[in-house]
Amino acid sequence: MNIISLSILYLWPKPFNYVLKEISNKIDCENAPDAWDILDEGAYSLAKKYNLIQYRRLKESGVNFTVHAPFLVTDYLNPNYTTRRKSISRLKSSIENAAQLSPLAYVFHPTTVPKGYSRDTLKVEHYHFLEEIMDFSRSLGLTVFLENHVPGMGHMFTDPEEFIEFYKRTGSSLGLAFDVGHANIGSSVKRFLDLLVDRIGAVHVHDNDGTSDSHKMIGSGTVNWKYVISKLRTSNFRGPYIIECVQQPFTSLQILRNLLSCKP
């Protein structure tokens, strides 16, 4: 049975205490998610001692989590050494804090391509960065997954071919957090599932019209969800589904549960 985690993205940027109240109020509700996806960013940062303490208390009470790494700044290959190491240190600190919550999954973004550089010139260096992060997380007993990013916004790893080249050249076991909405913008949902389904360890669920990363409710965009679920079911995917809808997240939660409960 797959776990469904609900991202607190729909609450952004409400105060952190509002997030705590929302999670606490939903714990015993019939339509409660199996887990909550924490955004380690801004006012919700795990670097804030109060936030981490509150999440640990929820964990101790039986609440499960998935964690999304900091995402507003991903300067992991910035040509300025100080800026680059600061960004990487922020990510490693996030991983250390997240490990205290024993999350079901930890997802991070690939790097932003620095201005004036191309993906091709940065590939090998980015591969080293990814292996550094995987080794670091593994030392803490945490499983991390790399997310496919939105095409056309200056990021690495936006299409399945980039992942395939990475795996072929490195032999890495780093898992993929398959973001269906991002892949839909690149018209690559089918290619990701055909080529990389065995690498998928977590799935980000949200919809759009194929042109903008709008994080709409499941079924309100152009994603063929029956196809997506069918392909993942056939591959015996057992990782978490993480709902990242900013509109009607609990309706999306019920829709996804219905899709997962349908017999093939």
Is 264 a residue whose pLDDT tops 80?
no
The phi, psi pair for 67, rounded to 5°, reads: -130, 135
Which among 206, 91, 90 is positioned nearest to 144, based on CA atoms?
Answer: 91
Q: What tens digit of pLDDT does each residue of 88-145 get?
A: 999 999 999 999 999 999 999 999 999 999 888 999 999 999 999 999 999 999 999 9
Is 236 a residue whose pLDDT tops 90?
yes
Q: What tens digit of pLDDT does each residue of 141-173 get?
A: 999 999 999 999 899 999 999 999 999 999 999
Q: What tens digit of pLDDT does each residue of 46-72 get?
A: 999 999 999 999 999 999 999 999 999
Can you tell me the mean pLDDT for 33-38?
A: 98
C-alpha radius of gyration, the chain, whole number: 18
Q: Give me the pLDDT at residue 263, please.
A: 67
Q: Give me the pLDDT at residue 78, please.
A: 95
Q: Give me the pLDDT at residue 131, please.
A: 96
Number of structural domains the chain divides into: 1
Can you tell me the mean pLDDT for 179-199?
A: 98
Grouping H, G, I as helix, E, B as strand and the rest as coil, residue 155 is strand
Contacting residues for 248 by C-beta, under 8 A, at least 6 apart? 217
Token digits of residue 9: 């993205």
pTM over 0.85: yes
| Domain limits for position 98 | 4-261
Is 28 a residue whose pLDDT tops 90?
no
Q: What tens digit of pLDDT does each residue of 224-234 get?
A: 999 999 999 99
Numbers of helices and strands, H then E, in the chain = 9, 8
> What mean pLDDT, rounded, does the chain reach?
96
Q: Give me the pLDDT at residue 190, please.
A: 98
Q: Give the pLDDT band (50/70/90) at residue 30.
A: confident
pLDDT above 90 as % of the chain: 94
